Amino acid sequence: MAFEFQGRSFRKIGVIGSGQIGPDIALYFAKVFSRHGVEVVVVDISEEALARGEKKLLKKVAKGEESGAFSKDWARAMRESVTFTSDYGRLDDAEFLVEAATEDKGLKGKIFADLERRCAADAIFASNSSHLEPDRIFEGLERKDRSLVIHYFFPAERNPMVEIVPSRDTDPGLATFLMDLYESVGKVPIRAGSRYGYALDPVFEGVFQAAALLVEEGVGTTKEVDAVACKALGLTVGPFTAMNLTGGNPITNVGLDHYTTKIHSWFRPPEILKKAVADGTVWETPKRGEKVDVDPDRAGRITKALRGAFFGLCAEIVDSGVSNIDDMDMAVELALDMKPPFRFMNDLGTSEALRLVRDYASAHEGFPVPGILREHGEAGKPFTIRRIERKDEDGVAVLKIRRPKVLNALDQGVFDELRERIEEIEADDSVKAAVLTGFGVKAFVSGADVHFLARIENPEEGERTSLDSQDALNRVEGCSKPIVCAYNGLAFGGGNELAMACHYRIARSDLKVLAAQPEPNLGIIPGAGGTQRLPRLVGFAKASELLRTGRPVSAAEALEAGLVSELVDGTIADLRRRAIEVARELAEGRREDARAPAGPMTDAPDELPPVELGHLSKAVDRVLCEAVLEGAKLPLAEGLKLEARKFGEVCALEDMRIGVANFIENGPRSKASFVHR
């Protein structure tokens, strides 16, 4: 057996190093590839390290099996797929090798020189370096084009982020392949420039340095700074706690020392860090659940300093060209568990963010005020943060909604950007068609932001909200160039309504849950076209059941019902390739589109078939049925306006307040106690 992806086959993956992170990387590979029969081999010269690494991996698998995260068969396959050995000969036939040894250029160079002698010419060589430039790591290789850095983050089997860092000699096609591969197996990759530390570690280690300097300056203790940092930057754990958890003192000490010459002169290892490394001590931090009281004046000073350092560090990365605003905003939040920096600066005001950075720079020699922040802050101009990626392929614009933390959920920013993207496509003569899809393998779009519902105060506001959502989707439907929806994962609520506004829909064939309109569970009705487009696409009987019960359908059922027109076997890359082909066929008139008919429905019944509502609100169901039946007798455009009025009407119901509050407080699986009024 093997894992096939874009013309490459993986039968064996090698991990070199069984220390802090190697076993976790191996565990991730086992999770993803064990069911394809791929062998994962972990090699180390230390038998003691191998024993520790194997014990660590097996313990995590057992814990996952016990919690139900892994089925019994999956856990067994994972255990059987991984081998820990000191025999480097086991790597000779590996197609993909990830080195996770000590952060030492000489050692890494020796490892890859040995692998180059052993392995096939087309084997991929990757270093899980956290700092070293790939040009330096691989400088001794004859075939530098098949090598690059893939930087995992702690804990590697669960943290979704990876940095893909090509050298100047890396084959560009290989970097693109790995970006696609990692997205297809559940990670969130970003491409970073080949500067020491790449895009994210200078932020992580720089925030730690700022925290340590506050302690050295006597502003607060490690425990106090740690506690304030969580509130100031949105952290789950503070910078000192993070160092304790990751064992990061030694590598951070080295990293900060090198940043001094490779980035800017503010960077340096604080004296308290040097002492902690020399003594092998851990930081004093708040215990789990401990409340740390900090004098308000000191807490304010700590907050301002940390935010000034944080904003300056992130903006400098963008200024340097190592990364961009969109990637940094997403990656800092996911990898480092901090507030997304550019959205954070927008929320505070870019002028205020600039003031904080200038104040920090004036008190700390060598700390720069990045040009991109000066430009925006002096003008009071917010940063533009893209949530929809665009990549054109031979006349087809591929639009990818990328909000992985919330499974690509829609918010006002996405609706607004969707309008902008459609305008771009309409105006671009080089574009003949478009594909709309989502990032990753879990979701096309998981729905709309529920929290905005809680802010709707009256029917008029509810109607306006519905009309605004409809406007964005109507622009998709009304685009003069065909738009194909590629369901890469599930589509719930507003996500499925967005898909139905597209001119054609295809989906991955293996999706057991593809689409649903779960609005009745929240005490509302669809407000972005669901009550009008779904009956026109699948008929009254099917639409009535799905709309009124919220039941999801699989890809196979969606095809049978007519919601989608084609299923695609394979990966999300295969799906997108097929979607591009279909988009071209539509643009060239070689295929009929599958939009919801624009006219009234001629077979509208007087009433909908009965369904079992269970706990769902009868009051909401009454409004929903009216929207479906009355709207079906109207042209689609008028039916949508009716739906918006009905959405406003349902916002006046007591059950809407109950359903939304229950969802926010207890989650989507909790059944609300509706009162049917």
Task: Report d(CA 667, CA 661) in Å as an integer.
Answer: 9
Q: Which domain holds residue 96?
A: 3-191
Amino acid identity of residue 489, one-letter, is G
Q: Are residues 182 and 220 in the same domain?
A: no
Catalytic site positions: 497, 519
Task: Report d(CA 316, CA 310) in Å as an integer.
Answer: 10
Q: Are residues 523 and 647 in the same domain?
A: yes
Q: Are residues 205 and 179 in the same domain?
A: no
Q: Which of 258, 315, 246, 19 is nearest to 131 (CA)?
A: 258
Q: Are residues 123 and 262 in the same domain?
A: no
Task: Report d(CA 199, CA 182) in Å as an integer.
Answer: 18
196 within a domain of the structure (yes/no): no
Judge if pTM exceeds 0.85: yes
Q: Are residues 657 and 553 in the same domain?
A: yes
Condensed to tens digits (0 to 9), the pLDDT of residues 228-252 reads 999 999 999 999 999 999 888 999 9
Q: Please state which of the ranges 246-250, 469-473, 552-556, 559-563 shows the lowest mean pLDDT.
A: 246-250
Condensed to tens digits (0 to 9), the pLDDT of residues 349-361 reads 999 999 999 999 9
What confidence score (pLDDT) does residue 329 get?
97
Q: Please state which of the ranges 126-135, 164-173, 204-213, 451-460 shows the lowest mean pLDDT.
A: 451-460
What confidence score (pLDDT) does residue 453 get?
84
Q: Are residues 146 and 260 in the same domain?
A: no
Mean pLDDT of 532-547: 95
580 within a domain of the structure (yes/no): yes
674 within a domain of the structure (yes/no): no
What confidence score (pLDDT) does residue 192 get?
98
Q: Are residues 215 and 284 in the same domain?
A: yes
Segment holding 335, helix H or strand E? helix 325-336
Query: Do residues 315 and 370 make contact, with C-beta atoms less than 8 angstroms apart?
Result: yes
Instruction: Extract long-range pairs of 63-71: CB within 8 Å, 24+ residues apart.
Output: 70/31
The last residue of a domain, from among 318, 352, 379: 379
Q: Are residues 415 and 361 in the same domain?
A: no
Task: Report d(CA 445, CA 493) in Å as an integer.
Answer: 9
Mean pLDDT of 617-639: 96
The enclosing domain of 630 has a CATH number of: 3.90.226.10
Count of domains in the chain? 3
Q: What share of the chain is helix, strand, coil (3-state, %, to 5)?
A: 50, 15, 35
Query: Do residues 196 and 262 make contact, with C-beta atoms less than 8 angstroms apart?
Result: yes
98 within a domain of the structure (yes/no): yes
Answer whether residue 60 shows pLDDT above 90.
yes
Answer whether residue 455 shows pLDDT above 90.
no
The enclosing domain of 212 has a CATH number of: 1.10.1040.50
Task: Report d(CA 148, CA 178) in Å as an integer.
Answer: 10
Answer whether residue 174 shows pLDDT above 90.
yes
First-residue to last-residue Cα distance in the chain: 57
Helices (H), 119-200: 134-137, 172-184
What confidence score (pLDDT) does residue 165 get?
98
Task: Report d(CA 267, CA 366) in Å as an integer.
Answer: 8
β-pairing, 3-5 vs 8-10, is: antiparallel
Query: Do residues 175 and 187 make contact, with C-beta atoms less than 8 angstroms apart?
Result: no
Q: Are residues 510 and 639 in the same domain?
A: yes
Q: What mean pLDDT is reported for the chain?
A: 96
β-pairing, 396-401 vs 388-393, is: antiparallel
Helices (H), 340-458: 341-348, 350-363, 371-379, 412-427, 451-454
Q: Are residues 607 and 465 in the same domain?
A: yes
Q: Are residues 266 and 397 in the same domain?
A: no
Query: Do residues 474 and 640 make contact, with C-beta atoms less than 8 angstroms apart?
Result: yes
Predicted confidence band at 524 (pLDDT cuts at 50, 70, 90)?
A: very high
The last residue of a domain, from among 137, 164, 191: 191
Q: Are residues 157 and 218 in the same domain?
A: no
Structure tokens at 285: 């931090």
Mean pLDDT of 254-278: 96
227 within a domain of the structure (yes/no): yes
In sign, the C-alpha dihedral spanning 69, 72, 74, 78 is positive
E runs forming strands in 272-319: none
Determine what percent of the chain is predicted with pLDDT higher than 70.
100
What confidence score (pLDDT) does residue 454 get?
83
Task: Report d(CA 514, CA 534) in Å as an integer.
Answer: 14
C-alpha R_g of the chain: 27
3-class SS at 55? helix
The last residue of a domain, from among 359, 379, 399: 379
The enclosing domain of 81 has a CATH number of: 3.40.50.720
Amino acid identity of residue 453, one-letter, is L
Amino acid identity of residue 651, one-letter, is C
444 within a domain of the structure (yes/no): yes
Q: What angle do CA 360, 364, 369 make, to 5 degrees?
A: 55
Which are the contacts of 193, defined by CB distance < 8 A and separation ≥ 6?
165, 199, 320, 321, 322, 323
What confidence score (pLDDT) does residue 381 get?
97
672 within a domain of the structure (yes/no): no
What confidence score (pLDDT) does residue 26 get?
98
318 within a domain of the structure (yes/no): yes
